[in-house]
Chains A and B, each alone.
Chain A
Amino acid sequence: MSDFLTVSVLLATLASGIRLATPFLLAALGETIGQRSGVLNLGVEGVMLLGAYGAYYATLRTDSILFGILVSLIVGGVMGIVYGVVTLALKAEQGISGIGIFIFGLGLSDLLFQKQVGTPTPIDGLGDVAVPLLGDLPWVGEVIFHQNVLVYVAFLLVPVLWFVINRTPFGLNVRAVGETPEAADSLGVSVDRTRYITIFVGNAMAGLAGGALALELGIFQQNLTNGHGFIAIALVYFGAWRPSGVMAGAMVFGLVSATVLQWKTLGIVVGTTASIVGMFPAVLTILVLVLVSRRTGQPSALTRPFERGH
């Protein structure tokens, strides 16, 4: 254990935790704004897969990471429009529709990959960017403030999203349609329009989360996200529908995963013990969810379709 408790290893673990947390954070923040407006999207995983493939393929073909990021956002946004039409216009049940989106994303991303690329072909992924001044700090600067640009974007979105939800008229509308859509409607707020916007933004962020994963790894593979989208949904509950809470949840999950990896690498845990310790992130998530479920904070109209006059 003494090998682990050194400054360099602890900072490396922190940096690893931040990298691992980033895709979860982006996707969970997107899901947060959707759920605050009363829309649950269980299809985050599928949208992430499509975003990941879109970003990977665009970068592979054009050598432009910026274009890859843009494509991941567009792919996510398009999936948001599809999900909005299905759940808002066609009034389909949100849970089932989300699962459909997940299966669609899983299948389509794999099909496109097989047909358009075939063998996993590496691309030059996102390089690290040093934050001016902070990047020069001893120890901390080198490890924490030398990350890829989407890491900074993800963490900057936390206060931005908090501000939008809590300090803007649009955020007020979002909260209103998520709590009492009938009252919001009676005051002239368009429930459907507000939800279309949150679904679009939330899915675009899920697409970006997938893109962040593919561009960080510099590769795409079948089922690349490997459950990230479902964990992101859990993190929304974990964070009690607050951006800061969601960030805390993503960081806890990332840090626990990074710590377990370091322990295994350094031989602190081996064999059966290592396998048991490897379950910590999932067990921790379940435990926190059980505790959080006792708290209030869930939008009252979550998963409830709105129909004027009903």
Chain B
Amino acid sequence: MGRRGWLVGLLAFALAMAACAEEEDAGRSADDPIRIAMVGPSASNDLAFTQSMVDSLDRLGEDYNIEVDVTDGTFVIEDAAVAIRGYAEDGFDIVLAHGSQFGGSLSEIAPDFPDTVFAWGTSRDTFGLTNVYSYSVQSDEGGFINGTIAAHMTESGTIGVVGPIEVGDIKLYIDGFVAGVKSVDPSITVNVNYIDSFSDVALAAEAAQAHVEAGADVMTGVSQMVVGATGVAREHGVLWFGSQTDQVPLGEEIVVASQIYRWDFQLSQIVEDLLNDEVSGRVITADFSNGGLTMAYNPGLPLADDVQAAADAVEAGLKDGSLSTGVE
């Protein structure tokens, strides 16, 4: 190739690059999938917090053309921060920092990527940034329903709760559960044990064992460490109530009901904002009235008619606003 050939080739390359740049400037075409990245603290299949978001993204995919990438198991916040920034640099449209512990990192990263939409939770703080959404749940509502059922099913009059750390949606759920039990029978004893760990399965098992020895015949718990507690529940035939995802796989013979987090309620609003060019940054809270929270009952352990009726009445009351859990 002579000098003229090189020049022509160089010119063609420059024109092609310019065309590409113009296409990028024009933004994502309607046919392009929305690229969503998620960073979660535990395993994608933890039957708890992280899985609830993975399941929600699957449901979101039924209604929208999305492409999802997940980084799970980021127990270490610094690792999560690297992943969040990496996804933003890679041009993902929406980056989900799924954990209240990621807020500090997100507040530093989000201003560097004004064209990327970030969402995190559970939280009610957007840091005053227009590209940050926060999502939360009124988990006390499902806790109240579970507590109502639990109060009807306990025979010993003692119920045990295995909690991780007394924060956010977990504290809301447990407070709601206790309120639900007390709304049926204030004389029932509810022993609450926060083990100060989201992941210590052995400690969760021993906490459950302590509840059993204290007379509990019904238990509940939250977070990925509950797999230890459900093992003890199975061994002793203690009934179990779940939250975040349907926990029937942890014991078909003991899991009565679970509150389900449907994060797709919040995600769909964020996606709509993105598609309509109306990204503004706001707090979106899920509850039973807007469909962001639902109940799942174990068909293998059907409730007595009067108990199911009581649970349905509570759910209906929460939906129409005639009933409040009383949890602040």
CA–CA, A8 to B210, complex, Å?
Answer: 11
Find chain B residues with CB under 8 A from A258 CB.
206
CB atoms of B214 and A265 under 8 A apart: yes
CA distance A228 to B203 in the complex (A): 11
A221 and B224 contact, CB distance less than 8 A: yes
Contacts A114-B45, A266-B214 given: A217-B231 contact, CB under 8 Å? Answer: yes
A19 at the interface (CB under 8 A from B): yes
Are B250 and A120 touching (Cβ within 8 A)?
A: yes
Which of A68-76, A270-278, A287-295 binds B?
A270-278
Residue of A nearest to B245 (CB): A119
The answer to whether B234 and A271 touch across the interface, beta carbons within 8 angstroms, is no
> Is the CB–CB distance between B196 and A217 below 8 Å?
no
Known: A216-B202, A271-B166. 6 other contacts (CB 8 A): A119-B47, A125-B231, A217-B227, A217-B231, A219-B201, A222-B73
Query: How would residues 59 to 94 of chain B score, 1 for a CB under 8 Å from any chain A CB and 0 otherwise?
Result: 000000000000001010000000000000000000
Contacts of A216 in B (CB 8 A): 202, 205
**Residue in contact with A20 in the complex, picked from B42, B43, B206, B231, CB distance below 8 Å:** B206
Interfacial chain B residues near A120, Cβ < 8 Å? 45-47, 227, 249-250
Stretch at the interface among B111-119, B187-195, B272-280, B289-297: B187-195
Question: Is B256 part of the binding interface, using a Cβ–Cβ cutoff of 8 Å?
Answer: no
Q: In the complex, A19 Cα to B207 Cα: how many Å?
A: 12
Shortest distance from the beta carbon of A260 to any chain B beta carbon, whole Å: 9
Evaluate contact between B194 and A274: CB separation under 8 angstroms: yes
CB pair A114–B191 under 8 Å, yes or no, is no
- B residues near A266, Cβ cutoff 8 Å: 191, 214
Q: How distant is the Cα of A8 from the Cα of B202 in the complex, in angstroms? A: 22
| Docked complex Cα distance between A9 and B191 (Å) | 15
A2-44 Cβ-contact flags toward B at 8 Å (1 or 0): 0000001100100010011001000000000000000000000
Cβ proximity bits A209-230 to B, threshold 8 Å, 1 near / 0 not? 0000100111101111010100
> Which B residue sits closest to A225, measured CB to CB?
B202
B22-53, CB under 8 A of A: which get 1 and which 0?
00000000000000000000111111000000
A122 at the interface (CB under 8 A from B): yes
Is A194 interfacial (CB 8 A cutoff)?
Answer: no
B298 is an interface residue with CB less than 8 A from chain A: no
CB distance from A15 to the nearest CB of B (A): 9
Task: Provide the residues of chain B in CB contact with A64, threshold 8 Å.
Answer: none
A118 interfacial contact with B, CB 8 Å: yes
Task: Supply 27 A–B pairs (Cβ within 8 Å), ascending by A.
Answer: A16-B206, A19-B206, A20-B202, A110-B73, A114-B44, A118-B45, A119-B45, A120-B45, A120-B47, A122-B231, A125-B231, A217-B201, A217-B205, A221-B201, A221-B227, A222-B46, A222-B73, A226-B200, A257-B203, A257-B206, A261-B193, A264-B194, A264-B207, A265-B214, A266-B214, A274-B194, A274-B196
CB proximity of B175 to chain A, nearest CB, Å: 13
Contacting residues, chain B, for A203 (C-beta < 8 A): none
A258 to B195, CA, bound (A): 11
**Do the beta carbons of B202 and A122 come within 8 Å of each other?**
no
A119-B47, A222-B42, A222-B43 known; A261-B195 Cβ under 8 A: yes
- Asked whether A262 is an interface residue with its Cβ less than 8 Å from the other chain, the reply is yes
Residue B262 at the chain A interface, CB threshold 8 Å: no
Once the chains bind, are A16 and B209 in contact (CB under 8 Å)? yes
In the complex, chain B residues whose CB is within 8 Å of the CB of A226: 197, 199-202
Question: A121 interface residue, CB < 8 Å from B?
Answer: yes
**At the interface, yes or no: A297 with Cβ under 8 Å from chain B?**
no
A298 to B209, CA, bound (A): 38
Report whether over half of chain B's contact residues are helix, strand or loop; otherwise say mixed: mixed
B43 touches A110 (CB 8 A): yes
Known: A125-B231, A221-B201, A223-B75. A267 touches B191 (CB 8 A): yes
Chain A, range 235-262, C-beta contacts under 8 Å to B: 257-258, 261-262
Asked if A261 contacts B202 (CB within 8 A), the reply is: no
- CB of A89, distance to nearest CB on chain B (Å): 32
Q: B251 interface residue, CB < 8 Å from A?
A: yes
Given the interface contacts A257-B203, A257-B206, A264-B207, does A219 sit within 8 Å of B231 by beta carbon?
yes
> Contact check: which of B206, B230, B249, B251 meets A261 at CB < 8 Å?
B206
Neighbouring A residues of B235 by C-beta, 8 Å: 125, 218
CB distance from A36 to the nearest CB of B (A): 27
A54 to chain B, nearest CB (A): 17
Shortest beta-carbon distance from A11 to chain B in Å: 10
A224–B200 Cα distance when bound, in Å, is: 7
- What are the residues of chain A within 8 A of B249 when measuring CB–CB? 119-121
With a cutoff of 8 Å between Cβ atoms, the chain B residues found around residue A275 in the complex are: 166, 194, 196
- B30 CB to closest chain A CB (Å) equals 35
**Given known contacts A120-B47, A222-B42, A265-B160, is B210 in contact with A23 (CB within 8 Å)?**
no
Chain A: CB-nearest residue to B42: A222
Complex: A221 Cα to B205 Cα, angstroms: 13
Given the complex of chains A and B, what is the CA–CA distance between A223 and B205 in angstroms?
A: 15
Q: Bound complex: CA of A274 vs CA of B165, how far in Å?
A: 11
Smallest beta-carbon distance A21→chain B, Å: 11
Which of B196, B200, B210, B231 gathers the greatest number of chain A CB atoms within 10 Å?
B210
- The reply to whether A122 and B214 form a contact with Cβ atoms under 8 Å apart is no
Which residues of A have CB within 8 Å of B75? Answer: 223
Complex: A113 Cα to B227 Cα, angstroms: 15
Contacts of B43 in A (CB 8 A): 110, 113-114, 221-222
Q: What residues on B are CB-neighbors of A221 within 8 Å?
A: 43, 46, 199, 201, 224, 227
Complex-state Cα separation, A222 to B51, whole angstroms: 13
By a CB distance below 8 angstroms, the chain B residues around A223 are 73, 75, 199
CB-CB under 8 A from B73, the residues of chain A are: 110, 222-223
Residue-by-residue, is A71-106 near B (CB-CB < 8 Å gives 1, otherwise 0)? 000000000000000000000000000000000000
In the complex formed, the residue of B with least CB distance to A121 is B249
